[in-house]
């Protein structure tokens, strides 16, 4: 089945830019979606179809894809952005919906 | 605003069947796929499967032999049955709406999740 690889953790100082990567074979040919999950809460969709933001998600959140890597970028990081972030794709063969292993974002 | 709410027993004995129901309010029920996802404590998300209002399903191959999903459009509800459970099935179970466009799908609305513990 399709595998998505994320770094286990990323740390960033407040006000700086955080970049969370998601690697997968030919991921550029797929649409990538990103979720934010705070402790004890359900995941929230923050980026869908590579770079679109759902209503209510700040413009500080953006997504991009290049080659075999998708990236979630959070500009001007705030303490409230501290959470686990998961990437996800839909793979029409095998296990259709695949999540990355998740990245814990720590705001220093 | 679309809202989803999981319900069902929080404790299931080993070898028995886990059964959960998700009730959906707000938005359109009949034009979407609906999914179940689970998350063991301290671990990542695992997709269990999806069901359409026609009753068509797709399941995670790793769980396919034990999973059945069903849907009741008259009640805006869909359900999950997982048979022969073990401690490895202990997790928070989420229901969610699957938004599909073109060749991709994402989960745009989630329930709050319900913890199911498998223990005697």
Q: What residues does B71 pair with on adjacent strands?
A: B78
Print the SS3 string covering A51-108: CECCCCCCCCEEEEEECCEEEEEECCCCHHHCEEEEEEEECCCCCCEEECCCEEEEEC
The reported pLDDT for the residue numbered A92 is: 78
**Three-class SS state of B111:** coil
Inter-chain contact A96–B58, Cβ cutoff 8 Å? yes
Q: Which residue of B has its CA nearest to A8?
A: B44
- Among candidates A43, A90, A101 on the partner chain, residue whose Cβ is nearest the Cβ of B110: A43
Question: Which one of A33, A88, A94 has the shortest CB-CB distance to B61?
Answer: A94
A5-54 residue pLDDT tens: 999 999 999 999 999 999 999 898 899 999 999 999 999 999 999 999 99
Per the CB < 8 A criterion, the answer to whether B37 and B96 are in contact is yes
B101 touches A49 (CB < 8 A): yes
How many Cβ pairs closer than 8 A exist between chain A and B? 69
Residue B47, min C-alpha distance to chain A (Å) = 6
Residue in B with minimal Cα distance to A98? B47
> Which residues in chain B are closer than 8 Å to A89, comparing Cβ atoms?
104
Name the minimum distance, in Å, from the CA of A76 to any CA of chain B: 25
**Residue B69: pLDDT band by 50, 70, 90 thresholds?**
very high
Q: Considering only CA atoms, which of A85, A97, A87, A92 is closest in space to residue A4?
A: A87
Reported as half-sphere exposure (CB side, CA atoms, 13 A), residue A22 has a value of 31
Q: State mean pLDDT over B69-86.
A: 97
Query: For B46-72, what is the mean pLDDT?
Result: 95
**pLDDT tens-digit series, residues A64-89:** 998 899 999 999 999 999 999 999 99
Considering CB atoms only, which of A45, A89, A94 is closest to B107? A45
Q: How far apart are the first and last CA of chain B?
A: 39
Chain A, nearest residue to B108 by Cα: A45
Task: Flag whether residue B113 sits within 8 Å of chain A, measured between CB atoms.
Answer: yes
Q: For B11-68, give the DSSP string.
A: EE-TTS-EEEEEEEESS-STTSEEEEEEE-TTS--EEEEEEETTS-EEE-TTTTTTEE
What is the widest separation between alpha-carbon atoms in chain B? 45
B50/A contact by beta carbon, under 8 A: yes
pLDDT at residue A96 greater than cutoff 90: no
Nearest chain B residue to A42 by CA distance is B112
């Amino acid at each position: 089945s399709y595998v998505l690889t994320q770094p286990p953790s990323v740390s960033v100082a407040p006000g700086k830019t955080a970049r969370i990567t998601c690697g997968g074979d030919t991921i550029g040919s797929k649409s990538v979606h990103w979720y934010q999950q705070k402790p004890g809460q359900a995941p929230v969709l923050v980026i869908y179809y590579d770079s679109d933001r759902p209503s209510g998600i700040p413009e500080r959140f953006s997504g991009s894809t290049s080659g075999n890597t998708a990236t979630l970028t959070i500009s001007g990081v705030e303490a409230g952005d501290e959470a686990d972030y998961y990437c996800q794709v839909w793979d029409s063969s095998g296990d259709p919906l695949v999540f990355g292993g998740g990245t814990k974002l720590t705001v220093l | 605003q679309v809202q989803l709410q999981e319900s069902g027993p929080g404790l299931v004995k080993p070898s028995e069947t886990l059964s959960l129901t998700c009730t959906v309010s707000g938005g359109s029920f009949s034009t979407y796929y609906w999914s179940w996802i689970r998350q063991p404590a301290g671990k990542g998300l695992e997709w269990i499967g999806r069901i359409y209002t026609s009753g068509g399903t797709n399941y995670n191959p790793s769980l396919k032999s034990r999973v059945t999903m069903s849907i009741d459009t008259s009640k805006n509800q869909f359900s999950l049955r997982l048979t022969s459970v073990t401690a490895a099935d202990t997790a928070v179970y989420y229901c969610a709406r699957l938004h599909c466009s073109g060749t991709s799908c994402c989960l745009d609305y989630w329930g709050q999740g319900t913890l199911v513990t498998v223990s005697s």
